[in-house]
Each structure stands twice: as structure tokens, then as C-alpha cells.
Amino acid sequence: MKENAIGLLNRDLEGEHAAIIQYLTHAYSMGEGEMACEIEAIAREEMRHLDWLAEAIVELGGVPSLTRGDMRTGGQSVAEWMRNNVLQEQDAIAMYQEHIEAISNPRIRRLLERILSDERSHRGDFDHFANKAQKQGLKDLRGSRRDKEAKTLNWGIEHEYTVVLQYLFHSYMASSKQVKKEMEDQAINEMQHLGWLSEEMVDKGGKPKIEHTKVDKSTKTADMLRADIKIEREVAAEYDRAARETKDPDLKKLLLRIRDHEVYHADLFSDLLKKEERHSGGGGSTKRRARTA
């Protein structure tokens, strides 16, 4: 029974993952405005759903999926995007209804019913946005810029998406409450970076490509932290190099700000690793002394 519930919850998780990226892509591509802010708020609610589902999966003894479900990425106008979002929500509503019927655990059913309520509200929101965007003639503001600076921005977007997933996964699997909290906090910070870089890309006439590379799936705390320190140090150096090479003052300022955050993350994870090694190493040395005595 647990295995069946874990499988269904992971399907829900993958759907939330898809919705988050689909909605953020739309929000970033519209530029500044009230509707873009409202869509980002909906994406944050989907992030909360993803978090709840992942925690429920771990509590049942499962491993949260990092696979992204199917997205609807077509459409030339904002009104078409919003109609695609309505369809995305309709799919989610149908799946949650099906899974509520299939799962017997009352606590899990209550969770899915809670999420279902939000999805019904989102469907109505996107239907309203579609009509509003049609009347206002809102358009895709992304351009076709593909120069070195556009490549730098898309490289940064790719990295930030990757570590958001990595730190969330590590936070779900960590046994230490402190590590869990810090991983979640830094994932939120990396999501901010993703937004900054994507918005900068659109402002400069480019098209954000929100894709990720390989995610570390370590489940031992020390291994997680070593992987996270490694990626942070490598990326901080790359942001520093890119900032020195660009002649765009606004981009330089952004890259250096993100670099400073990445350096902070590496130092924070290093402190956590030292604490973890002291904790595990202390126990091991005591046993060695006992055997020698």
C-alpha cells in the first residue's frame, strides 16, 4: 500500500514541478506588471505543494522524484499561454481527484484535498488572465539575442535551477534538522538568483532557457555537503570570471552579487560539514581507543 501511495505522490510531485517551471517561464517572459507578479505568486503556491508532497513521500519511506512532468510550452501570445495554464490545472485537478480515490491513508487524502482546492482556484485565475491578456494584447517580450552575455546568463540559469533541485532534495533526505533548514533556505536563495538572471535575460533581448544539469542525489549528510561545497566553489569562480569579462555594468553588478552569495553558501556548507565530521569522527575515535585499551 505504501509503495502505491509513494508512486502516486511522485506523479503529483512531477506535475507540480512542471507547473512551477511553466508558470515561471511565462511570468519572466511577460516583463514587469501586475499579472506577472500574480503568476509568480501561483508558482510559489505550487512550490509549497511540491514541498508538502516531497515531505509526505519521505515520511512514507520513499524518495522524492526529481523528474519534471509534461509542460505546455506552445503559444505565441500571453493569452495562449494562459489558456495552456488552464489546461495544465485541469490535468492536475483530474489527477488529484483520481489519487484521492486511490489512496486510503486519511492524512494523505486530506493533504491532496487541500492541494486540490488550490488547483481549482488557480484554474479560475488563469481563465481570468487569459481573457484579460486577450483584451490587453499582451505579447511575448523575449528576444533572440545569443551573444556571449546571453550565453553567460543561460549558463547561470541552468546552474541555479540545478542547485535549487539539489538543495531541496538534500533537505528532504537530510537527518539533521539544521542541515535540512539550511538547505531549504539556500534553495530559496538560489530560486531568487534564477529569477534575477531570467528577468535580466528578457530585459536584454534574450530568451531564458530553464533547464538543469545532473543533480547530486547523495543521501548521507557528509556526502551531500561535500557535493554542495564543490559546486558552490566552482560556480563562484565562474561568476567571478564572467563578471570580470563583461563590459555591461548592470550585468557585472548582478554577477558579483550572486558570486558573493555563492561564496557564502560554500562557507556555510563547510561549517556544517566540519560539525558533521566532528560528530561522526568523535564516535569513531572513542571506539578505536576502547579496542586498543
Task: List, in order, residues 6 or more apart from 104 with CB less than 8 Å away.
Answer: 1
Q: Does domain 2-136 have CATH number 3.10.105.10?
A: no
Q: How many CA atoms lie within 13 A of 242 on its CB side?
A: 25
Rounded Cα gap, residues 291 and 73, in angstroms = 63
Per-residue pLDDT at 283: 42
pLDDT per residue as tens, the chain (293 positions): 799 999 999 999 999 999 999 999 999 999 888 999 999 999 999 999 999 999 999 999 999 999 999 999 888 899 999 999 999 999 999 999 999 999 999 999 999 999 999 999 999 999 999 999 999 999 999 999 999 999 999 999 999 999 999 999 999 999 999 999 999 999 999 999 999 999 999 999 999 999 999 999 999 999 999 999 999 999 999 999 999 999 999 999 999 999 999 999 999 999 999 999 988 774 443 333 333 32
How far apart, in whole angstroms, are the C-alpha atoms of residue 187 and residue 161?
Answer: 9
> Where do the domains of the chain lie?
2-136, 148-292
Domain 148-292 grouped into CATH 2.102.10.10: no
Closest CA to 133 of 210, 63, 26, 35: 35
Asked if the domains at 2-136 and 148-292 fall in one CATH topology, the answer is: yes
Q: What is the pLDDT of residue 31?
A: 87
